[in-house]
Chain A
Amino acid sequence: MIPARNEAARIGQVLAGLDPDVHGLPVVAMVVDDGSSDRTADVARAQGARVISHAINLGKGAALKTGCEAVIAAGCDVLVVMDADGQHRPSDLPLMVSPLLAGQADLVLARRHFTRDMPATMRLGNVGLSRLFTLLFGATFHDTQCGLRAFTASAYPRLDWIATDYAVETEMLVRAARAHLRTVEVEIETIYHDAYKGTTIADGMRILANMVRWRMET
């Protein structure tokens, strides 16, 4: 399940990298086009993906929610969400799905290496938010912002988030921690392209404010 906005240049490559099955299970590629002004939806369809389009841009959280509802309604039992910008390798899907199929976890989180390959502001933001998460919620996740995640359809109602923006990743973890979902972290390699369009410093500040708010709601 790939939320995408103006990713016509990369989405085709991402979809082409998906295997038709993982551990013998069929892969249904679903793209939620979140109000793109380019040909993202057309490119995704041309690659054989199912596409749902938001008429206007709502944000990553809302796109993920739409996609999750659609794939669960379609009968999928295991959901993998990944970014559309080619940051995640489709070849990591088996790694992500294995703990779910083995019944060892309800939620699998990808964990990136915070090396110099990652842009400095992003590295600082990711480490800072992950540490703050542990401080506020007591649960330790080494990478709270990575967009590559997998979970079972049965876990989705307990993860069901409200955030419509990039705070979705953090909210998902807050809900997972509160629902005592079994969570496994899997190390992955990431590819950073020149034109990074993901979480900005302003998004990071919003996530930080939301974390404090979620903590106060307990």
Chain B
Amino acid sequence: MSAVQLLVIVFGVAMAFGTYRAYRRRDLVAPEAALWFAVWVGLIGVTAFPDVLRNVVGPLRIARLLDLVMIVAILTLSTLVFVLNSRVRQLERRTVELVRRLALSADDTNGDRKQAVGEVHGKTGKPAE
């Protein structure tokens, strides 16, 4: 086993442990934790036993095993970036709406102001529609 393989396995184990801690802290729900565990276990498995995938490389017409790993990694990262971007946008929209609603509801003089403006309009006349 090469030093790079060992490094990747240590990385995979550390991330699996991180996933477990996130699950315990309830930052991840069970299906999410299971998905991430599958990713890390898959990474560790492929790194420790690369020959398992060599049979797949040929039929897919991919020259090297490393190329297959890179393709899968790029597809996975692209999907993650897309999902994260969507979530961030969604959270941003919700935050903006929440802050705006809080500001408007804190403006408790609204009712008084409406009355006040109405009274003044009554004196001076409303603007032309």
Contact = CB atoms under 8 A, between A and B. Distances in A.
B107 A77 contact: no
B91 to A, nearest CB: 13
Contacts of B103: 32, 52-55, 66
Residue with the greatest number of chain B CB neighbours at <10 A, chosen from A66, A75, A101: A75
B127 A75 contact: no
Given A66-B103, A102-B128, A73 B96 contact: no
Nearest to B101: A66
Question: Which DSSP category, helix, strand, loop or mixed, fits chain B's interface?
Answer: helix
B114 interface: yes
Interface string B3-46: 00000000000000000000000000000000000000000000
A78 interface: yes
Interface in A18-46: 21, 23-26, 28, 32
B99 A73 contact: no
A55 B99 contact: yes
Contact of A101 (B107, B117, B127): B127
Contacts of A78: 127
B63 interface: no
A23 B126 CA distance: 11
Contact of B127 (A52, A66, A77): A77
A66 B100 contact: yes
Contacts of A65: 100
B76 interface: no
A73 B117 contact: no
A54 B102 CA distance: 8
Interface residues of A, number: 32
Contacts of A140: none
Contacts of B128: 101-103
Contacts of A74: 110, 113-114, 117
B100 A75 contact: no
B110 A58 contact: no
B90 interface: no
Contact of A73 (B102, B110, B129): B110
Interface string A1-31: 0000000000000000000010111101000
Residue with the greatest number of chain A CB neighbours at <10 A, chosen from B104, B107, B110, B117: B107
A75 B110 CA distance: 10
A189 interface: no
B126 to A, nearest CB: 6
5 contacts: A24-B124, A53-B106, A55-B102, A100-B127, A101-B127
Given A28-B117, A62-B100, A77-B121, 10 more contacts: A32-B103, A52-B104, A54-B103, A55-B102, A66-B103, A70-B110, A73-B110, A74-B110, A75-B118, A101-B128
Q: Which 9 A-B residue pairings sit nearest by Cβ, starting from the closest?
A: A26-B120, A74-B113, A75-B117, A75-B114, A74-B114, A52-B107, A66-B100, A77-B127, A52-B103
